[in-house]
Each structure stands twice: as structure tokens, then as C-alpha cells.
Structure 1
């Protein structure tokens, strides 16, 4: 459901209830509220006027806070915060309370009708209480804009995406397929599907549906795009090797889901991208907050540790008979490593705190990744050390930057290596991880 439909449904429901409920109550319910007409009108008028004033104040503050924090953290977080469904449910409840109060107010003291409708007045009171609860939840949600909560939410989202992306049966089967079934991709293709619309981002890919299509035509589908790519006019989406009947192109197009912007679905890179954006924004001269960058590296390192335990090479999907059907694109370990650390290393090259935290992250990663990936981590650590040697630090700062510290500037956990040379420490890391 589109978010804008939520307050629309609330408003339509309140208008319908305000039109029907007082009439049904006047016809079938004999009891009325023991309250004077003037008091009831004052009560309903206060609720209606108060709800509109509250709506304007609350949402003005909410959007200002969202915009401010999104500018400070990352512009890509604007939509993430602004599309929070609680925001739309709160708006819908506030508008519904206002409109139903007006409808009940209009029914009081009509010609030929005496008393105050009991059920309608009680409904207004219940909606008012629900609005207060919505307001409290909305204020609590605004607390999530604190930097610690933002980083934690992004980290949790990234962990969920990694679990769903690399833990699904389809992808596990692709990674565990017998080597004898790993056919070579075909050189000739019967159908090439290209993008025909305005620029759009690939939000997700239905691999299982593509496998079914490839099995139906007894062919192989090669995806040329990956989740997170932006497709332009004429960009190749996929290639089909097989019979490729005329009606299969529509099914293939609907298997690649497009949107105006990237989403977290099937895209662990997007969570890393937002965490890196926050880190490098904090390292900008306008903000100059390296501690926030260190906190972002905490979440980034955790995501990389989880990715290190996944089969990142599972880029082929097979049908139930073990026949290759779909070849898709996924990031490699080196892609994740570069995305996570390159920009932070570049923008944080003048911060000893950031450099020490990066060294600690790389040293810890070198100790938990497999043998096939440890060489990439060691090469990146060597690159970081060479960057320190080329930096403008004086000898004392350069020596301090070579010490790995999980707090950046807090606790040097490798005290026994503090006085060792960078080359010697790198050799020791290589020996312990080999």
C-alpha cells in the first residue's frame, strides 16, 4: 500500500462514520448523553480545533527534524525517515478525529432532535485517546534520529538483508551445486531485453521466477544488471539463450523489479553505503566529528564479519534437476571491502582516531575471514599503512596512527606491539592469519 493512502483511508472512514453513525444512533438508540447541548458543543469544538493545531505543530517539527538530520547524516535518509508508516498513521488518526468531531458537532441540536448522541460522543473521546497514544509513539520515534539509534537501525537492517539475501534456499542451492553442473555460459543469445523507460534503479530480482522462465524455454538467462544499478535508456537488463517465444519478454521484465531509488531489499551494499555516507559526512570540514565515523565503523565491521561467513560466489541458480538456468551478478568480497573502507580511509586520512579504528577493524577481519579472503584484507592493511607513512603526520603521530584501537582514541589493545615497526606488525598479522 502506498503511504499516502493511509491518511486517505482514515479520512474516508471518518467521513462515512460521521454521516451514518449519528443517524443510526438517533433511530435505534434511545439513550443520550447526560450533558447540555452547549457543553457538548464546546467539548466537540475544542477537540476539533485542538486536533488541527496539534497536527500542524507536530508535523512541522517532525519534518524539520527529519530534514535537518538527513542533511547531517545523508540525503538518502530523507525518504527513509519521511516514509515511516507511523507518521502517516498519526496524520490519519489526527485528521479522522478532527473530521468525526465536526460531523458529531453538526448533528447536535438539529431540528427535532433532542439530547447529545451517546455513542458518537464516546467515539470522539476514544479517538482522542488514540490520537494521544499516536502522538507519544511519534515522539518516541523521533528519538530514533539520534546518531546512535540511526547507526543501530542501519546496522540491524543490513544484518536482516544479509540474512535474507545469502541465507535463502535459492542462493544456497546455487552455491552448493555440484561442480559438474556448472556449465559455461553460452556465447550466443536468442533474446536481449533492454530498458526502455526513464532512469530507474533495480530494487530486487525474482531469481526463482527467472529460473521458472528459463526452465520453460529450456534455456539460460544471463542478468547484465545487479540490484542497486541504475538502468538508463538502452541499458541491457538480461540476455536469454534458448527458444525465447514472443510472450516471454514480459515475464522476464516483471521479474526485475524497478523503482525510483535503491532499497534495502536484496541489497546489503545499500546499508553499507548509508553507513559510509554518515561516516564521511561526519569527517567533512563543516562537521568535523570523527567520533561519529568511528561509531559507523563499528557497524560496518560487524556487517563485514557477517558477509565473510557467506558464500559470496553463489551467482548461479539451478533448477530442481541441477541444470544451470540463471547467472546473476553479486558483489565480491573485494567489492564489499572497498565500499566499506575506501572513502572513510580517504576522508579520514587526517584523523588519527579514524585511522586507528580502521586498523583495528582490518586486523580483526584478518583473524576471522577464510584463507581465500585474508590476502585481500592484508593487502588493504598494507595500503592503509603506506597511506600513514605518506601522510603529513609527524613521527609521533605516525607511530600513534599505526596502533589499532577499537575506540579510535581510547584503549590500545595491542600494547606488546606498540613499539614494533609497521612492517613487523604487518608480518605478525600475516603469520597469525595464514
Structure 2
């Protein structure tokens, strides 16, 4: 239940309709309540407040009509322009960045302000009665609030134009994704989530893959989230060992395994259905529990920036800087534990393919190296970033070895594709600096 609620919140957060709908409902309720306040307050009290509307019904109708019409017209034109701007940005930076724009609370609030103002003004309009109608009634306070909402909408419009102009700039897009990646890495690679290297691969029975019961996926899609605590509880109640075959971010086809359970004779249809319900599958990857999602987004932005059509190595180097910052955080933390235990300390859930420093480094460097091998500036920046990450590893031999393998591959690819002697010398110099940094960190770790 907790997983479903968290997933629902994350889904609603990435929609454009939820916050505007809530604001429209609040505006509707507020209009009804304010009209009742106007009915109970005497005209004399209203006259004493100089800032409250004191005109007649025709003027009130005209003003509210202007506010409602202008707000909706402005909203339509503004968001049409926004769609065009986002289309251009997605062409240059990749369609997946639209996910970040959809989750932008500022954009949702702007649309909600426009919709709420329109709803409020329309509802107030229907309550105004002139002298020739049954019971003259001009809700002065409500009309004043409507005018205030119109002025607020103009202020929000100015904010929105500035916000969109800033948010579609490549450095800002990269920075937002980079901060998201850094937050995810800090959460996953926190010291309390890690275990010593010698315990990272728990042993499974030799006949596990052959005899374990299989919980298959009933649909095609990406694993967006799973409830670890619930799986541990199920495994404890059924006295099972569960091996997760598809962690969040991975695609699974219908009929392929999500989980393998051991021993098979303790499984029944009830447990199988319960286990399957703890996975949330969808049509696309999300950042909900997928630490590599933001790294892949940055890689995509860098790859597009390196394409001949765009040819923007500075954006690619910015992506590498943020990827390096995330890897530094991962190096200062500890590799996430692939094992989950119950209250008695017994192993209950194991990730077959857990999140690792090596996997995160692959997501950061492999594709950018493949597409950027002909750009000396990008290859030099990759070697510099790896050097910085090595200095954050605190001498972890496994992590340094992973980084050295990437560095050697980058050096070889660069020397194979770069012909200018000075560029080749720079690449070799950066590589030697990297090797000295790795030797220094290993030496310090050995002395400690």
C-alpha cells in the first residue's frame, strides 16, 4: 500500500493536470464561500472599506468578464509558445528531458493560477444581480478578490516567461538533472546502506536457477518501483529466499521472471500474486527508484551535443562535470547492499543485478566515449573527471581499477581518432596525471 501511494504521488507530480485541478477546486470552493460572506456583510460595512469594489452590477460583470477572458487567452497563447520552445529543446537535448519539465512545479503552478482565476471569476459572475433582476446583489468582496487574482495572473505570467527562458537553457537543464542524480546517488550510496566488499555477493545454492520457483511478469514494461520491505515480509512469512531478477529501471517482457523463490515447494499461487503486486511496471523509466536514470539522461544530452547537427562540446563537457560530481559522491559512500535481511538477520531478498559503482561508471562514460572519440576536448575532460573521481575513492582498489579501465579505453579511443600531435600529447599527459593520482591513492590506502 505504501509503495502504491508513493508511486501515485510521483505519477501525479509528473502530470500537468493535478496541481491545476486542485487549484481550480480551491478557487471554486473559495468563490462559493466568499459569496456567502458578501451576503452576510452589510453594504455599509463594504462602503467603509475604501479598497473594496463599490461599483454597480454592470461594471462588475464587465470587469470580471475581461479578467476571465484575458486570463484564458493569455494562458492559451503562452502555453502554445511554450510547447514550441520545448519541442526545440527536446530536439537539441533529447525528448527525455520533457520528463523534467513535466515535473516542474513552477510550470504547474502557473497553469493552475490561470485556471483558478478563470473558474473564480466565472462562478462570481453568475451570482451578480442587477436592479432589473430578482434581488439586486453585487458581491463586492468577491469581485475585489477576482480583480486581485487577475493582477496576480499578470505577475505569474512575467515569472513564467522568465522561468521558461531560463529552464530551457542547456547549462540549466544539465544542472537540474545533475542535482537529481547527485541526490539519488547520495541516497543509494549512503554509508549505512553499504557492506564490506567481501560480502557483496551472497552465495546461492548450486541448483538455485534450475529448481527455484519463478514469478513471471504478466505485462511488458519497465520496472518503475518495488516494495523491498513488503518483499522481505512476504519472504519471512513464507520462509523463502527471493532473488530479484529485474531491479527498477530494467525492462521485462511478459512471461519473463521478475523474482525467483527458493525453495520452490513453499510457493503457492497466493504468494506468487502477492510478490507480483509489489512491483510497479510502466511504459517508461522514471527517477523514482532508478539511480541510473538521471545518468542516462545526462549521457543522452552529451551525445546529442556531440552530434554533427548540433556540435556543442561545451554542453557535453558540462554533462561530464555533473556525472563526475555524482561519481565522487558514490566513491565517498559505500556500494549499496544487494541483500535484505529480516528481523532475525536471515537473508530474505537478494538483487541478482544490484546497483554498483562499476555500473554507474559505465552509464557515465561508455556512450559518451563512443560518440565523442573524435573530440579531443571531450576526451580530455573525461580523463580529468576520472582523475577527480579517483581522488575521492579513498583508495578503494576495486573502484580505482574500474576507473583505470575506463581511462585506458578512453585514451586508446582518443589516440586512434585524434591525429593532431599536440592533442595527442595533451591526452597522454592527462592520462599520466591520472595514473599518478591512482598510484598515490593506492599508496595512501596501503599505508593506512
TM-score category of the 2 structures, normalised to the smaller one: 0.7 to 0.9
CA distance, structure 2, for counterparts of residue 119 and residue 272 of structure 1? 52
Q: CA deviation at 1:259?
A: 2.3
Match for residue 385 of structure 2? 361
Change (3 A) 1:180 1:222: closer
Residue 7 of structure 1, aligned match among 14, 17, 20: 20
Change (3 A) 1:179 1:91: closer
Is 2:173 aligned against 1:150? yes
Q: CA deviation at 1:180?
A: 12
Residue 200 of structure 1, aligned match among 185, 198, 221: 221
Match for residue 410 of structure 1? none
Q: CA deviation at 1:289?
A: 0.6
- Contact kept in structure 1, 2:188 and 2:336, CA below 8 Å: no
**Bigger shift: residues 178-187 or 331-340:** 178-187
- 1:122-145 deviations in Å (ceiling 9; x for gaps): 221232244344434433432222
Match for residue 50 of structure 2? none
Listed as ranges, the matches of 1:6-405 within 5 Å are 6-15=19-28, 18=31, 21-22=34-35, 24-25=36-37, 27-31=39-43, 33-110=53-130, 111-114=133-136, 116-142=138-164, 143-167=166-190, 171-172=193-194, 175=195, 182=202, 184-185=204-205, 187-188=207-208, 189=211, 191-197=213-219, 199-242=220-263, 243-312=266-335, 314-328=337-351, 329-369=353-393, 370-404=396-430
* Secondary structure, counterpart of 2:126 in structure 1: helix
Match for residue 407 of structure 1? none
Q: CA deviation at 1:183?
A: 5.1
CA distance, structure 2, for counterparts of residue 180 and residue 39 of structure 1? 74
Change (3 A) 1:295 1:35: same
Q: CA deviation at 1:208?
A: 1.6
CA RMSD of aligned residues (A): 2.8
Q: CA deviation at 1:288?
A: 0.3
| Unmatched tracts of structure 2, length 5 or more | 1-8, 47-52, 443-448
CA distance, structure 1, for counterparts of residue 64 and residue 30 of structure 2? 16
- Contact kept in structure 1, 2:383 and 2:434, CA below 8 Å: no
| Unmatched tracts of structure 1, length 5 or more | 405-421
Change (3 A) 1:300 1:47: same
- 1:140-188 deviations in Å (ceiling 9; x for gaps): 432222222211111111111112223385x44xx26996995535734
CA distance, structure 2, for counterparts of residue 180 and residue 273 of structure 1? 25
Give the TM-score normalised by structure 2.
Answer: 0.83
- 1:279-337 deviations in Å (ceiling 9; x for gaps): 11110000001111111111011111111233326211111221111001313333222
Change (3 A) 1:353 1:265: same
Match for residue 440 of structure 2? 432
* Structure 1 ranges of 4+ moved more than 6 A: none
CA distance, structure 2, for counterparts of residue 368 and residue 315 of structure 1? 23
Give the TM-score normalised by structure 1.
Answer: 0.85
Change (3 A) 1:363 1:91: closer
Change (3 A) 1:179 1:286: closer
Change (3 A) 1:181 1:233: closer
How many residues were matched structurally? Answer: 411
**Bigger shift: residues 337-346 or 278-287:** 337-346
**Bigger shift: residues 175-184 or 242-251:** 175-184
Change (3 A) 1:6 1:282: same
Q: CA deviation at 1:375?
A: 2.0
Change (3 A) 1:318 1:183: farther
CA distance, structure 2, for counterparts of residue 374 and residue 27 of structure 1? 74
- Contact kept in structure 1, 2:296 and 2:363, CA below 8 Å: yes
* Secondary structure, counterpart of 1:298 in structure 2: helix
CA distance, structure 2, for counterparts of residue 168 and residue 130 of structure 1? 46
Change (3 A) 1:360 1:39: same
CA distance, structure 2, for counterparts of residue 55 and residue 81 of structure 1? 17
